[in-house]
Amino acid sequence: MFEAGDLLVFITALVAVYLLPGPDMALVLSASVFQGRRNGLMVAAGLALSRALHVSLAGIGLAALLKTHPLLFDAVRWVGASYLCWMAWAILRARETSAGDDPVASAGGWQALQRGFLTNLLNPKALMFCALLLPQFISPSGNLFEQYLILGSILVLLGALFDVVYIYAASDLASRFSGSRYGKQIARSVFASVFTLAALRLAFNR
């Protein structure tokens, strides 16, 4: 169904995207650093669910709808940017109120999953990425459902693999500096800055 060369190009493009710092990576790292692997894995599960939904929405044409209706695209974009700003504020507020709390997933696994899902879902550029990338490797003469299923599965599973690597690396690093209050303050400042920059990029970089 797919040429080996085409799949290699597809996977290479995904690897390049998953290596780039962004809100998804920052959320996974933040949950893992402040609450450990379990919450990090729940965030990763939420991200995976959202990516799967984005693949489905791209397949049924919602991305094309956003592209042809700029006001709808902008509405989703500004909601996503506001959500990222709220998470940056939550991180800074946690530093002021309770140094031991996780600023991103303090209410446990369910909220960690929810925040992972919403962070990716409210980024219309993630949906547009799926809509622009997947058709490049789809053959009109083949079974469209099967092709979207295979490529979408690769996209979701590869993203989950990268998230798991980030989770274990971050939690191991955090365990080495678990007794350092100064280190945690630096980490919170860094994550808050990343979320703020991601919000500004989403809001103003079209």
Domains of the chain: total: 1
Across 19-23, 192-196, 198-202, the highest mean pLDDT is recorded for 19-23
DSSP code string of 41-71: HHHHHHHHHHHHHHHHHHHHTHHHHHHH-HH
pLDDT score for 186: 66
Answering whether pTM is above 0.75, one says: yes
pLDDT score for 66: 62
Inter-axis angle of helices 37-60 and 23-35, nearest 10: 160
Query: What is the extent of the structural domain holding 26?
Result: 4-204
> What is the percent of the chain where pLDDT is above 70?
79
What does the block give as tokens for 78?
A: 């500004």
Greater pLDDT, 4 or 117? 117
What pLDDT digit, counting tens, does each position of 61-84 carry? Answer: 765 666 677 777 777 778 877 877
Would you call 205 exposed, middle or buried from its count of C-beta atoms within 10 A (0-12, 13-18, 19+)?
exposed
Closest CA relative to residue 126, chosen from 44, 16, 24, 34? 24
